[in-house]
Amino acid sequence: MKFFHLSDLHIGKTVNNFSMIEEQSYILKKILDDIAQQRPDAVLISGDVYDRSNPSLEAVKLLGSFLTSLAENNLEVILISGNHDSSGRLSFCSELIEKSGVHIKSIFDGKHTPVVLFDKYGKVNFYTVPYIRITDVNNAYDTDISDYTEAFELVVKKMNLNKSERNVLLSHQFVAGAAFSESEEAAAVGGLDSISKSVYEPFDYVALGHIHREQGFNSNRIRYCGTQLKYSVKEVNQNKTYTIVTLGEKNGENLCDIDIKTVPLKPLHDMISVEGSFEGIISAELDENGIISDDYAYITLTDRDYIDGAAVKLRKLYPRLLSVSYAISEQDGFFNMPDFGKGTEQRSPFEMFSDFFGTINNGEGMNDSQMDILNKAISEVWGEQE
């Protein structure tokens, strides 16, 4: 039994106001091309299909097109929701869609009916658990559990696994000991919602989602395939992949034979980090289009003086510039930043904030909507309005 393991597509995501739809469409097309060559039996998608609970129309269209293409390849698709997804929206028409071989589990109801597929060695049971919180488990089973590992142990117990058959689980949770990326760190503070990997050990393979960094446990049988694209500065040095899993024969109640491969993915535009002095960076060699790089770029300047209009100038050379920051902070005592507080007695709060806004946005002033918001805030705090 061969299947592709994908997760955390985050369709519709924007990174620093850049839409990733074109990049996502490109990478999903690459995966479809590989599917046409590899001919897997199934594709697993382990949550965070969309980037937000109310996805854009173009995001919905892209997912619809991708699922349609998978179904047209006579594949079984098994998909769960993640914490970024709206379980209700993702489950829309799921019973109808299932007739096309697309199995969606987005609402946790405490019931466990696996998707069962067959190969020459017999059955493979695919169990699906969308992203859950302790309250979901307590509500489903009328319990009063306060620990995530204990809650998930109960979920697995309720599956009544037949260990003489091959069992695969799709899950979208934090596993204790996993290495986080920037996008997960805030959600995992303190590790309160981490689950011990021992809970997953009865399964022949666990297709995990939630963590953007590719990694595995227990000889990779418990595995995060990671995102298929880079989405933050802390991911620029990661090699993005997807995972191909082939399940072999089962020997009694022992775990089945397994082969796990990672397939590298080359994006339409990479995401890079550049550090150096302003003059050093802008003096780099230009390509045939008159730019330095067309990749998404995080630039860190090592200058000790604030460079007026740096982002505007750099964006001409890096058209997909994501951000400009300074390696030396003002707190270090060596960085010269414009004094926004100078002459505060003669300026109103509106004027001071306008100056600040223009400076950090490279001379671009506020639009009407932003000025309205500022006026309302000033009115609430000082009882005055410009």
**CATH number for region 2-264:** 3.60.21.10
Rg of the chain's alpha carbons, rounded to an integer? 25
> Could you give the C-alpha distances from 326 to 183, 322, 359, 362, 373, in angstroms and in order?
21, 14, 15, 15, 29
Domain residue ranges in the chain: 2-264, 271-382
Distance of CA 59 to the CA centre of its chain: 14
CA separation for the pair 259, 336 (Å, rounded): 56
CA separation for the pair 119, 336 (Å, rounded): 67
Look up the pTM and report it.
0.84
Residue 129 CB contacts under 8 Å (≥ 6 apart), including other chains: 80, 105, 108, 152, 155, 169, 170, 171, 172
Where are any strands of DSSP class E within the chain?
2-6, 14-15, 18-19, 42-46, 76-80, 102-105, 115-119, 122-129, 166-172, 174-175, 194-195, 205-209, 215-217, 222-224, 241-247, 258-264, 271-276, 296-301, 321-326
pLDDT one-digit tens code per residue, 135-166: 999 999 999 999 999 999 999 999 999 999 99
Q: Give me 202's structure tokens.
A: 């009865």
pLDDT one-digit tens code per residue, 91-144: 777 777 888 899 999 999 999 999 999 999 999 999 999 999 999 999 999 999
For the chain, 386 residues long, the average pLDDT of each consecutive 10-residue run is 98 95 98 97 97 94 96 94 89 81 94 97 98 96 96 98 97 91 52 86 97 94 97 94 97 95 98 97 95 97 91 96 86 60 66 72 70 82 59
Our CA dihedral for 241, 219, 217, 239, rounded to 10 degrees, sits at: -20
